[in-house]
Amino acid sequence: MRHISFALVALFAVFAGPAGAASDASVLRKFGMLGRYAVNCANVPATSNPHLIYAISPKGAVTRTLEMAEPDLDGTFVMRKLRLLAPDRLQYKETGRELGYTITFARMGSKFRSWKSVRSDGEVIIQDGKFRTSGSPTLVFEPCAY
């Protein structure tokens, strides 16, 4: 009987995947971060006013599109391994143009800001909502109506 129970548990683990695992899309929806965000939605995308678009493709891929009117910086990046660290913290992995990043966003009401960003080589770019090199706070993004 013990062998049958163990076999059933092992079979369930193979087909069910990690216990309680949620899709990246469902985590993004739960965190409330779908749509367009900007420092100032009334102004066009610019280096001082980046626009971020969080979307889910028909196949369920989660993406972040950056619009700054800078061809070298603008782009769409796939977000993966999304998880809620707390009700107001979302962490995900993203591959940039050359390196990967682990990024944590903080929610403050309906607004968001980068809270932590660590490159795949271990360098911390942002810590506690501030850039490590300058100490400047990260930008706060508000939801846009369009």
Output the pTM of the full model: 0.80
pLDDT in tens, 87-140: 999 999 998 777 899 999 999 999 999 999 999 999 999 999 999 999 999 999
- pLDDT for res 11: 31
Return the HEC string of 43-83: CCCECCECEEEEEECCCCCEEEEEECCCCCCCEEEEEEEEE
Residue type (1 letter), 105: F
For residue 49, pLDDT beyond 60: yes
Asked if residue 90 lies in contact with residue 27, where contact means CB atoms within 8 angstroms, the answer is yes
Asked if residue 44 has pLDDT above 50, the reply is: yes
Mean pLDDT of 31-37: 94
Query: How confident is the model over 56-95, as pLDDT tens digits?
Result: 999 889 999 999 998 888 999 999 999 999 999 999 999 8
> Contact at 8 Å (CB) between 107 and 32?
yes
φ and ψ of 7, to 5 deg = -65, -40
Q: Can you count the helices (H) and strands (E) in the chain?
A: 2, 10
68 contacts 59 by C-beta, under 8 angstroms: no
- Rounded distance between C-alpha atoms, residue 104 and residue 125, angstroms: 11
